[in-house]
Amino acid sequence: MRFKVVKLKQALLVIGLVFGPSELLLAKKTNQAIYEDPFDLGAGGAALTRASKDGILFTNPAQLPLGSKIIRWIGLSTSVLTNKESVDTARDMIQQAQGSGSEESSEEASAGADAFIEKVFANPVRLGWGVAFSVLTHNVGGAVFSRLEPDFEANLYGEYGMPEIRFTAESYHGGALGMGLRTPLRWLYLGATAKYLYAAEPEFGVELTNKEKIAELSDPTSLQNSISHNTGTGLDLGSLLFFQGDYTDLTLALKVDDVGNTAFQGDGSAPTSFKQMAHAGVGVTLHTGADALHFALDYRDIQGAYEEDLFKRVYAGTKLTIRTYLGLAAGFYQGYPTMGAEIDLIIMRLALCSYTRELGDHAGVNPRRIYLASLSTGF
């Protein structure tokens, strides 16, 4: 165990370098939008027919004209997230620290260190944050955003049977400008979003016995080459068929992301491109004058550009909004249940949600149960 403690400290030093102020990390994008509103995630991520605030620009800009106000939203949104395993590990460490006295023996201290190492090898760590400033009107909208989600996982038996530390990350930043128009057909809406992206998707593992690899990653020049960001510009096109009734609305959506593929340039190894994808969605809304219950189903990446299994491409959920001040959400995201809530205090909105990201090829292989909190200020 002492061997693992020493080697893990070396690996943690590498983590410190990786997450330094110059560059950032994260897991590879597939069919998910590069930026999603927390309340939409709480509703299973099914947002092609009804998205919240900034999420409209990145999920389907054809929704812009549906707002009843000329100014739909001006404000700043910030969010932080972590996974359940990180919370459990932190809680156990706090309880252990509170239970250990000043007269703790060296044997007890060693046992405590060993227990901590075991937790590190048993529980993955995922942390992240996001921020977006956006202005949305009845027909146009713009946003600048930044999103980072590094993921750290230790395995007693890695790819070659030795203890291993594995890093993945999603680091997406940039700006978007969207437009939505109502056509002469009153039920048909069209939209487009142009975007500029600054992105990195590093993914690599380090065996604790591989001194050369640890030394390589400890070198600032080599490390920067591993996690450099690339830049690219892309275009998304969306459409919406909206049939409104007195108490029931039906919405159909078709969306194409990264038309013609979004190519990236730069010194980073990834991403080199975001593939063109086609999505379809259906939504049904039951409503009164002030309350609404929205059911939605999205089928993403219809042509299978990213070759993902079906469970990662189908999103479903429901949103209940009460007097526009309170929202409740539930759904299924990547095959796992989600839940969320949002409180609107006029110039301040608080959103909480829980969902699961599956990093493996099948449900249950390598999930991350995420807890996310978001605060928005604006009107």
- Other Cβ atoms less than 10 A from the Cβ of 95: the count is 10
pLDDT at 346: 83
Rounded CA separation 26/265 (Å): 18
Encoded amino acid at 334, one letter:
Q
Which amino acid is present at 370?
Answer: I
Closest by CA position to 46, among listed 286, 254, 241, 317: 317
| CA dihedral of 328, 33, 139, 137, whole degrees rounded to 10 | 50
Side chain identity, residue 38: P
Residue 120, H or E segment: helix 106-122
Can you give the pLDDT at residue 215? 64
Integer Rg of the chain from CA: 22
- Domains of the chain, by residue range, sit at 2-378
pLDDT score of 89: 78
Distance between CA 114 and CA 95 in Å, rounded?
16
Residue-wise pLDDT for 110-131, tens only, equals: 555 566 566 666 788 899 999 9
CATH code for the part of the protein at 2-378: 2.40.160
Closest CA to 171 of 219, 117, 228: 228
pLDDT of amino acid 68? 76
In the chain, which residues have pLDDT < 70? 1-27, 97-121, 157-162, 208-227
* pLDDT tens-digit series, residues 313-357: 999 999 999 988 999 999 999 989 999 999 998 889 999 999 999
